[in-house]
Amino acid sequence: MADLNIPPAPAIEGATHLHSGKVRDLYELPGGELLMVASDRISIFDFVLDTTIPDKGEILTRMSLWWFDQLADLVPNHVISTDVPEAVRGRAVVCERLSMYPVECVARGYLTGSGLLDYRATAKEGHSVCGIALPEGLEDGSRLPEPIFTPATKAELGDHDENVSYDAVASTIGAERAAELRDLTLAVYGRAEAIARERGIILADTKLEFGARPDGTTVLADEVLTPDSSRFWPADEWRPGRTQPSYDKQIVRNWALSPESGWDRSTGEAPPALPDEVVERTRSRYVEAYELLTGQRW
């Protein structure tokens, strides 16, 4: 497991810290509800960087809230309230405590990332992703004949999620629940892909998390359809056969891997601090995605 170097979570009066991830800090409130706080942290290659991206946590929170509203008729979500302590106002939500399903629910409408790696690795068997057969001749960025559900295991913090077959999910959580998560994931993707396309953005893929209430109701949780959990591409720049420009932290990854950074990834040491120009360009990309998708000015 990688040493992510996550900084200590800030103390919040009246809340008990439970857990910190790469971006979010989770607290318990006196009534038993959870307080989920999105920080301005940014991570690449399993390192949480010392440099933060101003406003990133608030952008992610506001974007998730907007998407939860767009999806409310498809699936309930975990948000109880946005009335949060002043110290984290704008970047936190009060949410339900759920029994989370141990699966990352991924929908793909385009071939890229780990899906592309699976596709290439299965060439001798006829090309597939998570056991789903796909046609010959697809490239990085190709649109799939139809969206597919490609689940992954939930890895420990610092490890990588691994793509698994649908049958593996069914054997873990049961056939009925697996079918429900697959159908909900594809329904959410279909709704979001159409909304994004109307705004000039391609939603290539997205990762969702679901949990269950005590009565068994399945609920959409965590973040949803943000640049941290989804691949958003400018539709007018889409060109299959190459890496697509994207609305995410690719700017940071590209800089870290460039000679300019002076970072040698093979040493296992964390990347250096980000230059101000890279920070501002990254922040601008997140703001642009927020404004284009929601139609709201930042």
Q: What residues form DSSP beta bridges with 77?
A: 220
Contact 78, 221 (CB under 8 A): yes
pTM: 0.93
Domains of the chain: 1-97 (3.30.200.20), 99-237 (3.30.470.20)
Using CA atoms in the order 197, 54, 82, 48, what is the torsion angle rounded to 10 degrees? 90
| pLDDT by 10s per residue, the chain, length 298 | 445 678 889 999 999 999 999 999 999 999 999 999 999 999 998 899 999 999 999 999 999 999 999 999 999 999 999 999 999 999 999 999 999 999 999 999 999 999 999 999 999 989 999 999 999 999 999 999 999 999 998 765 555 678 899 999 999 999 999 999 999 999 999 999 999 999 999 999 999 999 999 999 999 999 999 999 999 999 999 999 999 999 989 899 999 999 999 999 999 899 999 999 999 999 999 999 999 999 999 9
